[in-house]
Amino acid sequence: MRRKIVAGNWKMNKSVIDAQQLMVQLLSYKNNHTPNCEVWIAPPALYLMMAKDIFEKDEIGIFAQDMSEHESGAYTGEISADMLESIDATGSLIGHSERRQYHGETDSHCNRKIKLALDKGLIPVYCNGETLEQRKAGEHFEVVKNQTEVALFTLSAEEIRKVVIAYEPVWAIGTGETASPEQAQEIHAHIRSTIAAKYGQEVADEISILYGGSVKPDNAREIFSQPDIDGGLIGGAALKLEDFSRIIEAFQS
């Protein structure tokens, strides 16, 4: 059975005091509720150790927002897989659209990061998705297929089973736009079929694919009800417990 996951990407937000307050609120919420999904957060790197101090192991998944494609060395500002392993982090986001847009990351970079993460026992959350121009041109299926193949298809069947994919329609991130549940399902099914063509349906059916395009409390239930959507990578709505908890509870029924 595939994992059901609600993951909050905090991006570059929150002071240390505000971050601590939200983590404590989330811990209290988790202690008083039994969600039908796993709950993960990706706070700024500065707050990863604080998150590990607040949350017990396996209570809340703790993810970096990015990690280096290099094992170690003179890479100022980077965080290595070894470093994340040493603080007992759960994993890392890899290839988020904002990393691609602002830092020039490619699927080849993502492939190297994913391999390093897996070597260290970390869960890679591989992000892919098309731009508005690509969707308007009818290229979205081919774009997402190519992204998936370049980033993941050097992995063994056993390795790819450990990867979580987050489909992000770039045109729906931070814009207030959201793909319809049917549009999201269509792409999620396409990603799964792409994996099945390489690794077989059994392997493809084990991989969790999250939707990462402006999930909100009022649309989460309909989005999560789609057969190939296994949860969400949540941006702005993850910064308020009221919104984030309602999204988590979309898995309650």
72 assigned to a ligand binding site: no
pLDDT of residue 177: 66
pLDDT of residue 58: 66
Residues pairing with 210 in the sheet: 166
The dihedral over CA atoms of 34, 1, 94, 20, expressed in degrees to the nearest 10, equals 10
CA 41, chain centre distance (Å): 9
Tokens found for residue 180: 């319809």
Average pLDDT per 10 consecutive residues for the chain, totaling 253 residues: 95 98 95 92 97 86 97 96 96 96 95 98 97 90 97 98 95 70 94 98 98 90 96 96 96 69
The CATH number for 136's domain is 3.20.20.70
pLDDT of residue 251: 87
174 assigned to a ligand binding site: yes
CA 81, chain centre distance (Å): 17
pLDDT of residue 178: 66
Which value, in Å, is the radius of gyration of the alpha carbons in the chain?
17
Q: What is the pTM of this model?
A: 0.95
4 assigned to a ligand binding site: no
Q: Comparing C-alpha atoms, which of 154, 226, 234 is closest to residue 192?
A: 226
146 assigned to a ligand binding site: no
11 assigned to a ligand binding site: yes
Catalytic annotation, residues: 96, 168
**Structural domain tally of the chain?**
1
- Domain range for residue 17? 5-251
pLDDT of residue 227: 96
